[in-house]
Amino acid sequence: MNASPPDYNAIYFDSNELLSNGWPDPSPRLGNFLHIGRGWNIRAFIPAPVLDETEAHWRRAVEYQATQLATAKKEFERHSRPIVCDVSIEAPAIEELRSQYRVGREEILKRFDIGVIPYSDRSIEFFFQRATNYVMPFEKEREGKGFQDAVIMQSVLEHLHSDGGLKGLLITKDGGMRQAQTADFLPGLDKLGYATLDEAWDNLIHFHIDQTVIQPYHEERKNALAAVKEMENDLKEFLATHLTESMLRAGELGAPASAIKLISVDSIEVSFVDTPVPDSDANPDRAVKILISVSAQCTALLRKESFSFFSSLFGNPDQASSGPALPSEAFQGNARWSGGIRATAKVVDRQFHDIVPEAIVSDEELRTQK
């Protein structure tokens, strides 16, 4: 996979992405992004104007729903006439709800170690000049649209400027903000990129999986293969005591033979070792089961088998009258076997130790397990 690492070490959030992902009750994607980012020492920040904007959005929604409750009460009383119904609907006071909202928000900020950066200290004149000249994110002919985005972006830029070790990524859906030129707000600073949450998540999770799963898996498979190749004699001894004559193949095309006694396992060739994918959340030092793909060249006592190419295709009408074939004379020759060996091993620092062969796997079964 070799996914490229993130080219930032600080993330900042715009209001639209937070609101789209349930803030201040983060969606699974937002929570995972923050959790994995923290694991790679990526610091997370929310500008103070974003916190204020998202709170205002929450408050407007709650106040609107409160008016809907009052409307529903009136409608119920109207439709229930001439029956007089005393319906009591009372929502908690908005200030009480806001207090609870802020407590919950602080818990989320602490849980994910999210810092809050202050408002920009630029003057109203600074933003007014850019608005009247339609400097993005201010949009032309939109009567100052983009003011909130400009304040958020300027706050982020000033925070990056104050910490020379940070390179930031602003998580936003706003097209105007992504078109803005940093030089129009803080000349000489080239430390801020832009992405949606989905874009940033895709890059981060691919990098995370590559570093914590894919690369360790490939490293362990390579190390397992090297360790197995160092134990050729052990594998030959294991095959010598576990192979049966019916597992061996002998003879050549047109001259078939069957093995009647295994004499020795002369050489082996290990092609690959299959190992379990390491669990990134578990201890990498562990006991595992592995599967070794191996072929062997053997010496065996063989017996030739009668064979006719044309008889194998069309049958031999005279065979029934000729009686059973006479047993052929046994001789010593070459036989071969291919398949797998199940084994156990201990993994320490991605290296394989104490490999113990346990059972033979047929070539057919091995192919189904690759």
- Long-range own/partner contacts, residues 4-7 (CB < 8 A, 24 or more apart): 4/203, 4/207, 5/207, 6/40, 6/42, 6/169, 6/203, 6/204, 6/207, 7/167, 7/193
**What average pLDDT does the segment 16-29 reach?**
93
Task: Kindly tell me if the per-residue pLDDT of 211 is higher than 70.
Answer: yes
How is the chain split among helix, strand and coil, in percent rounded to 5?
Answer: 45, 25, 30
**If you average pLDDT over residues 363-368, what whole number do you get?**
76
* Res 9: pLDDT: 96
Contacts of 196 (CB under 8 A, 6+ apart): 17, 171, 172, 173
Contact 336, 250 (CB under 8 A): yes
Q: What is the number of residues in the chain?
A: 370
pLDDT for 320: 47
Sheet with 10-13, edge to edge strand ranges: 114-117, 43-47, 10-13, 168-171, 192-195
Q: What integer best gives the mean pLDDT of the chain?
A: 85
Q: What is the predicted pLDDT for the residue at 128?
A: 59
pLDDT band per the 50, 70, 90 thresholds, residue 69: confident
Q: What is the pLDDT of residues 117-168, one digit of tens each?
A: 999 887 677 665 666 554 545 455 555 466 778 888 889 998 998 998 999 9
Give the residue-averaged pLDDT of 32-55.
95
Scan for tokens 């320490």, then name that residue.
Answer: 348
Banded pLDDT at 326 (limits 50, 70, 90): very low
